[in-house]
Structure 1
Amino acid sequence: MKRICSIYKSPRKSEMYLYVDKRDGLARVPEGLITAFGTPQLTFEFVLTPERQLEREDTAKVLENLEKQGYHLQMPPPQEEYIEHLPEHLLRMNDPV
């Protein structure tokens, strides 16, 4: 199964993305999710196949969600991942005195 996916980013939450089938667009996304997500901003489109590796998502799960519910919501990474990328001087600010 392959899908042409449209990927939208949230204007409210950094690194939150919404995957939808390009044919359906946002029609199958619940109104409450759109309200919480903010006005979706189209980021890019691509062909998603079971063989394609995604950086932060399980391809099979994305395809399953697109089939069953019409969308897949990619949440931002946990806070711990953000901390790993902070400059060293910012990490030292939180060290005990």
Structure 2
Amino acid sequence: MQAYVYKSQRKQDTYVYLAVRDDFNAVPDALKASLAPFAFVLEVALTPDRRLALADVAQVRANLTERGFHLQMPPPLVAPVRVPRRDD
């Protein structure tokens, strides 16, 4: 399965994967309005053994098949861990 990956120009580290290149019809209008414009960044073959850095390839494939798109948001921020000092 091929996927076409677009980066949101409005929201940092947010990507939309499409099943069909340049076909944003499957993406809800509200989502397009909040993320557009988009810049094409990558065409990738999503084979079952493919590894993606921030997404589960099986979930991406399922979303592309069912919805025609997959939304990849940036990972959640992790609160800094306070390391107690010896005098605490």
Normalised by the size of structure 2, how large is the TM-score? 0.81
Identity of aligned residues (%): 39
Which residue matches 1:12?
A: 10
Considering only aligned residues, what root-mean-square deviation do their CA atoms show, in Å? Answer: 2.0
Normalised by the size of structure 1, how large is the TM-score? 0.74
Which residue matches 1:59?
A: 57
For 1:8, what is the secondary structure of its paired residue? strand
Contact 1:7 1:18 in 2 (8 A): yes
Which residue matches 2:86?
A: none
Partners of 1:33 and 1:70 in 2: how far apart?
14
For each residue in 1:13-69, what CA deviation from the matched residue of structure 2 results, as whole angstroms up to 9, or x when unmatched? 111000011357222111111101121111111111111011110110000000111
* Over 2 Å off, 4+ runs: 22-25
- Larger helix proportion, structure 1 or 2? 1
